[in-house]
Amino acid sequence: MMYTEKVMEHFKNPRNMGEIPDADGVGTVGNPVCGDLMTIYIKVKDNRLEDIKFKTFGCGSAIATSSMITELAKGKTLEEAMKITRANVADELGGLPPVKMHCSNLAADALHAAIEYYNKKRKAADEVKK
């Protein structure tokens, strides 16, 4: 098998899989044309990621990296979560095959997109209040 045990474990039992209907932020990256598409949903409370869920179309590593990032990010502050990189995700999984490093390791990007979405939304709301 080309994948580490950790990757296979997350593929078999993905953590935090699903949607958050009233999410504070949603980030989608990838493209089904390339074979990978992932969406991350976040719920924010007191500047922390109170809840995080994912949905992914893609190969084993796409599903495993999505699952892993939800574990890494849950409970972190938004600033801490923004610092999680693709490399962190791959390292936590014990490494990914080289061909997967680019196309199927988009989970960090999806998380960042969800947080940016949340920040923008909050900023817009603040301005309305002003």
The contact set with another protein (CB under 8 A) reads: 1, 3, 8, 11-12, 14, 17, 28, 32-39, 55-60, 62-63, 99-100, 103-104
34 is catalytic: yes
Q: Minimum CB separation from another protein for residue 5, in Å?
A: 12
Question: Which residue has 């309305």 as its token pair?
Answer: 128
Cβ-based nearer residue to another protein, 78 or 96: 96
Q: Are 51 and 59 in contact (CB under 8 A)?
A: no
Cβ contacts of 94-98, under 8 Å, gap ≥ 24: 94/4, 94/5, 94/6, 94/7, 95/4, 96/3, 96/7, 96/61, 96/65, 97/2, 97/3, 97/61
Cβ-based nearer residue to another protein, 40 or 84: 40
Q: Minimum CB separation from another protein for residue 17, in Å?
A: 6
Cβ-based nearer residue to another protein, 57 or 116: 57
